[in-house]
Structure formats: structure tokens, C-alpha cells
Structure 1
Amino acid sequence: MSTTSPARIAVVTGGARGIGRAVGEWFLRHGCKVALLDCDSATLDRTISEIARPGDLLGIHCDVSDPAQVDRAVAAVVAKFGRVDALVNNAGVAIFKPVLETSFKEWRTVMATNLDGAFLCTQAFGAVMAGNGGGAIVNVASISGLRASTLRVAYGTSKAALIHMTKQHAVELGDAGVRVNVIAPGPVETEMAKLVHSVAIRSDYYDAIPLNRYGTTEEMANVIGFLCSPEASFINGQVVAVDGGFDAAGVGLPTLRRRKAEAGAELPGAKA
């Protein structure tokens, strides 16, 4: 009789591309079975085909802001895998516009996916986890939820609310054995970033990040995977900024770099 533990089951929203896909692939590499949820059915179908793990991977077309679709997704995951051990609320949208030009419709579009979607999925999948004795949930917020910046009144506010909602869920669901944490990524090399980050914005980020670069989707997935793993069994209700030091940095970093470069140029034998 085999003593091998059954595979853990992970659900990832916004799983067709970017951070979500990287997270799904992290779980698969670590012996889990995975359900990827996304409202972009064409990209989701392509991702499922490219990963090519039909026995371990389920793709579900789902708009997480729709309670009925979320309920159907839960039923599909339980029907195929029987349980849920981890949920990653990654689905998100961004509208970057000045405060006075952001319409209420745009505000609600962002809130519906980024905040309502995480609320609905946490309720639905969290109930399954609580019924099975526990699990882990990781929400994907943003550094924009910790510090304000321009053009992000809807996006930043949704992510700040998601961070606080994480703590609310951590308190109550923790009592049922379900840990809830949140990461706050800095800028990450994703298709969304390529669409909305101009050359000037990218330059501003490089100036403000001590590690002087964007993060990768794999780096986000590594942190999320750890927070869902048994190794993080006593971590609950925490915000982890995965941002290369962006949140820690104040003013003066470009000046510091310039002075170091100038000092290096003045050393004997230094090339101009």
C-alpha cells in the first residue's frame, strides 16, 4: 500500500498569462495539480495546450467578478480534483488615468475584478478548504496598494483594499486552518506592463528601485509558492513586498548612483 501523500490542488485566477501562468507552472513543478481560471478563453486554451499536462491541469473560463461563474468554477475543480488546498487570487485589471478623468464605470471595472473577484473566490474556495481542514490563500496586490503614485486612483485603491481584506480573512479563516497572505509586487516584466508602462515610466521605476530592474514572473511565483507551502505554515495575515526595495526607497537614489559613477571615473586607470 502506497504511503505517498496525495497531490495538493491549487487554483490560480488570471492564470492564462504573466504572473498567473508562472504560478501555475511553479505548482506543477512541485507536484501539485492545478486549475487555471481566466476570462480570456483563447489565451487560456493556448496556455493549457502549451503546458500539455491534461491529467494535472484544468482550464476554466471564468470572470471572477461574476458570482455564478465563480460557483461553477468551484464545482468544476471539486468534480475533477476532489478538493482545494491553495488559492492564488491573481486576476486583475488596470486603468491608468488622472483622478479627474477616471469615470465611475472605469472605477467599477477595476474594483469588480481586483477586489470583488478576490472576495468571491476567497469565499467560495475558502469554504472548500475550511471544510477539508485547511489550506492557503495568497492574494496578488501591488506596491501601488502600499504607496500612492500618479494615474492609479482606481488600481491603487483596489490593491490597498485587497491588502486590508487579506488581513480580515486571515483573522477569521485562520481559525479554520486557512492561512491568507498577500504579496505586493513592484513592476514586473509582463504583457500588461509592456502595454501600460511607457519608456518614461520604466525609467522612473529604474531610478526608484535599488536593484535597478523590473522583477520577473518567476520571482513572484517563487514567493507565492512558498507562502502556499508547508514551509510557511505559521505565516498568516502578512504583506510581502516583492519589489526590489522600491517600497523601502525614498529620494536620492539617482543622485547616489551618479556620485558613485563619478567617483569610479576619477579612480586611477578608470576609463572615461
Structure 2
Amino acid sequence: MYRALSRVVVALLVVVQVYPLVWLFVSSVRTEGDFASANPFALPTSFTLDNFTRAFEHAALGRYILNSLVVTAGADALIVVCGMMGAYAIQVLGFRFSNAVRALFLLGIVVPVQIALVPLFIDYAKVGLLDTYPAMMIPLAGFGLPMSLYLFSSFFSYIPKETYEAASLDGAGPYRIFARITLPLSVNTIVTVVMVNSIFIWNDFIFANTFVFSEGLKTIPVGLQNYIGAMGKTDWTATFAGVCVTVTPLLLVFLVLNKSMIYGLESGATKG
């Protein structure tokens, strides 16, 4: 009975997660007339690929994808490097008040993003960082760091201390231990941290919309505003086609790295 109930719950969760994607791809190949006149949630009665052509005509999708890739890669790199090194110092090396430092980092999880917009805008204006890639990367990395540090720290607690002690007896210093032992063992956790944060970074709108002004630096969420025409009229089928184009790279990477991500979540978060 319990197993059957669990399967039903899992099936419902899968439907809830997968249905929006299926509906998005189906709507992207419907004609404008079919989508406007018929039930938008019904199966399409016509098929067209012209929506994808109009999607590239309305906006510079290639440029938006490139900008999102640059911001996502840069923010992920900062999160992984800072998160790993911070967790290594707190969990493995240890120091006085390390638990207090860990708690201080974890407090960042409850800090709302909106509270940082005005202070960051003022600071960026003073140092000339407005309308640049780092203007988006830095806050995204900062808000993604607490959870990443928690995952790395939890995973590092699984590594036996005897492994580090043996390496120290062989003459390895903390940097060599980190590079030769901790880093290779953390591959699955790194994949998990990258994927979890990439989803939020790829979809970020608030930082890109606040700190970026030029068309050439717009990311996908901000660039999709170009599909809104005069008087608020939106070309919905072209918009859906544009979203399909922009979401496909992240979806493919997620499917390829899915096993590593699941393993990283299990090994890096269960004990914590």
C-alpha cells in the first residue's frame, strides 16, 4: 500500500514538472490563429515552424544566449571556487569560531535579494561596474554561496580524517591535500552545485534588469521583453518559440549530468 501510494505521488510530481515543458514546446509550433482562437491548453490543430523564425527576428536570441552563458559560467565559477575553499577551511582545516562563521554564511539563505539592489546600484555607480558582466555575476554568486558552502561542507564531513592525516604524514600541505584529495572526490558535488545554481542564474531577471542598460549585454529573461509590442501586445507563439530555444541548452546539460547531480545531492546533503 505504501509503495503504491509513493508511486502515485512520484507520478503526480513528474506530471507537474514535465507538463509545463511539454505545453511550452507544443505551443511553440502552433499558428497564431490556432493559439488565439482555440483553447490554449488543447492539442494543436495546425503545425508551423515560422514561430522560430519570428523569434529570431523580434530579438537577438543568439546574443542573449551568449550573455546568459557568460554570466552563468562566471557566477558558477565564483560559487564553486569560493564555496569549496570556504567549506574546506571550515570543515577540514578548522579554526576558532569556525562554527560561528558557518552559521553566518548560512544566514545568507534567508536574506531577500531585493534588499541588496539599492546598495549595490550605488556602489556599482561609484566604481564603474554598472552595465557590465561582473555587475550581474557578483551578486548572483554572493546569494548562491551559502547553500553551496553548506553542500560542500556536508560532503567534506564524509571524507575520513585518517585520509588527511595520512597525507599530512607524507608531507603534503593543506593546498596539496585540497588539490590531490578533496577536489577529485568532490566532482559530483561540484556538478550538483553548478546545476542547482545555474537554473536560478539562467533565469535571473532582477539583477540583469537593474544593473544592465545596453542591448548588447541583456540576458535571456530581460531580452524576452522585446516580444512585447505596442500597447502591450505580445506575439505569444513567437515568445514560446524563443523560450524553447533558450531553455534547450540548459535542459540538455541537466539531462546529461542528472545522475551525477542526484549522487551529489545524496552524498552532500543527507548528513547535513
State TM-score, norm by structure 1. Answer: 0.25
Structure showing greater Rg: 2
**Of the two structures, which has the highest relative contact order with CA contacts closer than 8 Å and spacing of 6 or more?**
2
